[in-house]
Structure 1
Amino acid sequence: MKLILRKTVSGGCRLGELVDVGLQGNYKMSIPCCLTYTRGAAAPHLTKDMMGTLPEVPFGIQLTLPTLAENQEILEDFKDGISKFSNLPESMLFLSVQDPGTSTPSGYNERQCASIWCPGGRMRLSPDNLITMVKCIQPDWFESLYDGDQTAIRSSRKRTVKSVDRTLNFLDAVLNAKQNSQELKDTQVFGVIEGGDISDERLRSVRETAKRPVSGFVLDGFHGDSVTSEVDKDLLLVTLAELPEDKPRIIHGSGRPDQVMQDIEAGIDIFDSAFPYVVTERGCALTFNFNHSDPEDLDNSQQTTCHEEFSQQSPTVTNNRQNGVNSLCKTDYEIDLNDQRYKEDMTSLVSGCQCYCCKNHTKAYIHHLLMTKELLARVLLMLHNFHHYFLFFQEIRDSLNEDRFQALKARIMLLR
């Protein structure tokens, strides 16, 4: 795998391509981009045919270990990996240790293992366990095991140092196991950067991880409840400044549009797309306007509704650990279809949207489905929210290519 940067604009924004991607080494990915979020190797609420109706579906798919780990024996017997087992399209598979779309309890990691939370409960995971699961799942990329509990509020320096040490030890064990496995010789390992909100520990984590033969980096612990946006931004910039330019950077828990714009400007390449899932689970629809060619794409009534409904609160953090999918907090980038105001609203979710939901159904219908607890409600919302989010990332790449990223950022930040 090789990263080719076509240009760096607007500060640290990186526009380019990852080439020779995948176990076969014959694919490419444009950056910045998001990965398609999955649960159990399938898009939440959607069938493969429904996903096929979406434009600009990301080439990269994010597999979440907590939704797959309990199927290890089945995959071992199958032998051909999750791609064939789940009939996934030709794509790049990235395996993440935690699920960014759900809440993960803190305080359960140990010296020799970390914890993941599966449908059946807690599972202890050692580096050897991770390697065994990677062999069964057969992803193109996977992130090393890490101890991310330092993201809890007011973590001590002692706890943060321990977190960085454990994460580096996990990485060494994973790299050693990979080196001794013929099956994993072409699989890419991403190192995880820890350090909480302590700058020198972040730098130690970055510098030590960069010394290892990793293919890329995962920035963990940002945009959580433990750090303010100002501290968050400064830490991210300091961290990214130490990373090599020729390797991709992934961040978890940064899905809100304003966070995405700020992180791309700082130099992040790849995001997850758990945010549309979190929005869907609370019965909301993404409605923020990013279309530069048609300023009226989001009609005035929708803009007013969105602004008035959430103007009394700042955009909320939908981080993977602290808030989780069941958070009642909403952001200025969405509308809540549970609200009675939509009971007789016969307009589409977003005027001019070409997704199946907007072309065929109204806000009133989605509200009715939510009130009657019909499964179809989240099917339609997930379809729309993925559609909206994926086009947002395409617009980001277009804006970078056409030197209008700052105009797009200003539009997105105004919606907060």
Structure 2
Amino acid sequence: MDSGSLQVFMIPVLYCALHDPAAACPTGYTTNKTVSVWGSGGRIELTVAKFMALQKTVQPDWYQSMADGETWQSNTSRKRVRKSVDRTLAHLDECLLEHQKSQELEGVEVFGVVEGGDILEERIRSAKETAKRPVAGFCLDGLQTGCMEQALRTQLITAVTKELPEDKPRLLQGVGRPDEVLACAEAGVDLFESFFPFQVTERGCALCFDYDVSPDPERAGRAPPAVLELEENRETAVVAQQNGDLNLDERTQMTSFEIDLKDKRYQDDFRPLVEGCGCYCCKNHQRAYLHHLLVTNELLAGVLLMIHNTAHYLGFFRALREALAGDKLDLLKRRVLREGGRQTERKD
């Protein structure tokens, strides 16, 4: 490396979660000694021994301990929630004991899981007890999109993070929508899962929300053309949330932060997905081409959309880190949520 240059290397980190955050997980299969996971071959019942054997084989950089996370439904009884916390703590103790005896897992870190459903007292108890164990971080489970209103989620996260050490990261599972990410980051969450771009891609959609908080006076109060197209989607999503109950299907429904490239309006639209985006897809292809690939079921559509959606999502998190460091979180929230300075004019 030259003395006057600086090279930054991205170091990949392998994290092993218990469940796939992009897929709904059936409930009713947890016992005192086992949890069930689902793969292409169906249901697999895991004991702590089997779970830890998998970790020894994969040898991730860090993994979450086994947990009973089947208490996210709002009608779950207090007794069932208490049992979930007790089981999860017991699983954590067994995992830690096996981890400490394993040479294969030397240097691998364990994240303890905080459960408790929507019951504040159980959430706090779970957090306090988990924090007593020698874990490297914490997974906040059972708070995923569709489980509860954001106000309750924020209240629970705020209470939980007060009981956790500040020098250990808090990972929130099952939340990836930009508006929810902003609220949860403000409540004290450090890490999020990156499944949201995949879900958007599976819908044949492209992320195009605004997250630019650069000090550009000419840009103030003015949204990029692509962002203006989201206003109608946002209004529709708000009405749907007001008229419908919360459910996990919300994780697979189109959000107000994306455009549907399968729509006929894009068949003669020769603009990039997002003006100014530097990803390979936006620099080399137009919306009309992506529309054609989608309606003809070409596999390349998913590849190009995933490139863009991942780049856009990573850009959002880069902006979030900069906003937190520069005390600009309120400005970022206004950009992402389009609060204030909203334009009624639309560009065809």
What range is the shorter-chain TM-score in? Answer: 0.7 to 0.9
Match of 1:409 among 308, 333, 338: 333
The residue type equivalent to 1:410 in the other structure is R
Match of 1:148 among 57, 69, 84: 69
Partner of 2:323: 399
Match of 2:212 among 281, 288, 291: 291
CA distance in structure 2 between the partners assigned to 1:214 and 1:315 by the alignment: 42
Match of 2:277 among 345, 350, 353: 353
CA distance in structure 2 between the partners assigned to 1:102 and 1:239 by the alignment: 26
CA distance in structure 2 between the partners assigned to 1:248 and 1:310 by the alignment: 32
Paired residues of 1:310 and 1:330 also in contact (CA < 8 A)? no
Partner of 1:173: 94
Paired residues of 1:288 and 1:298 also in contact (CA < 8 A)? no
Partner of 1:367: 291
The residue type equivalent to 1:127 in the other structure is V
Paired residues of 1:276 and 1:382 also in contact (CA < 8 A)? yes
The residue type equivalent to 1:130 in the other structure is F
Report how many aligned residue pairs link the two structures.
325
CA distance in structure 2 between the partners assigned to 1:108 and 1:406 by the alignment: 43
Question: Cα 1:197–1:104, aligned 2, differ >3 Å: closer, same or farther?
Answer: same
After the TM superposition, which residues 1-400 of structure 1 pair with which residues of structure 2 at under 5 Å, given as runs?
Answer: 59=10, 90-293=11-214, 295=219, 300-314=224-238, 322-323=248-249, 327=252, 329-400=253-324
Paired residues of 2:56 and 2:105 also in contact (CA < 8 A)? yes
Paired residues of 2:210 and 2:223 also in contact (CA < 8 A)? no
The residue type equivalent to 1:265 in the other structure is E
Q: Could you say which structure has the larger radius of gyration?
A: 2
**Which has a greater percent of strand?**
1
TM-score by length of 2: 0.88
User: Identity of paired residues, percent?
Assistant: 45
Task: Note the residue ranges of structure 1 that are not aligned, 5 or more in a row.
Answer: 1-55, 60-89
Superposed CA RMSD in Å reads 2.2
CA distance in structure 1 between the partners assigned to 2:79 and 2:190 by the alignment: 31
Pairwise CA distance, 1:225: 2.8
CA distance in structure 1 between the partners assigned to 2:175 and 2:183 by the alignment: 10
TM-score by length of 1: 0.74
Paired residues of 2:174 and 2:193 also in contact (CA < 8 A)? yes
Post-superposition CA distance 1:35-82 (Å, at most 9, x none): xxxxxxxxxxxxxxxxxxxxx99x5xxxxxxxxxxxxxxxxxxxxxxx
The residue type equivalent to 1:147 in the other structure is D
Paired residues of 2:281 and 2:307 also in contact (CA < 8 A)? yes
The residue type equivalent to 2:232 in the other structure is E
Paired residues of 1:287 and 1:350 also in contact (CA < 8 A)? yes
CA distance in structure 2 between the partners assigned to 1:228 and 1:391 by the alignment: 26
The residue type equivalent to 1:361 in the other structure is H
Runs of at least 4 residues of structure 1 off by over 4 A?
296-300
Secondary structure class of the residue paired with 1:313? helix
The residue type equivalent to 1:393 in the other structure is F
CA distance in structure 2 between the partners assigned to 1:298 and 1:384 by the alignment: 23
Pairwise CA distance, 1:260: 1.2
Paired residues of 1:314 and 1:331 also in contact (CA < 8 A)? no
Secondary structure class of the residue paired with 1:169? helix
Question: Cα 1:296–1:354, aligned 2, differ >3 Å: closer, same or farther?
Answer: farther
Secondary structure class of the residue paired with 2:124? helix
Pairwise CA distance, 1:249: 0.7
Partner of 2:345: none
CA distance in structure 1 between the partners assigned to 2:306 and 2:221 by the alignment: 20
Secondary structure class of the residue paired with 1:350? coil
Paired residues of 1:147 and 1:163 also in contact (CA < 8 A)? yes
Paired residues of 1:206 and 1:239 also in contact (CA < 8 A)? yes
Post-superposition CA distance 1:361-416 (Å, at most 9, x none): 11111111110000000100000000001111111122222222221122223269
Secondary structure class of the residue paired with 2:268? coil
CA distance in structure 1 between the partners assigned to 2:207 and 2:240 by the alignment: 14
Post-superposition CA distance 1:104-159 (Å, at most 9, x none): 11111111111110111100111111110111101110100011110123111111
Post-superposition CA distance 1:143-197 (Å, at most 9, x none): 0001111012311111111111111111011011111112223211100000000
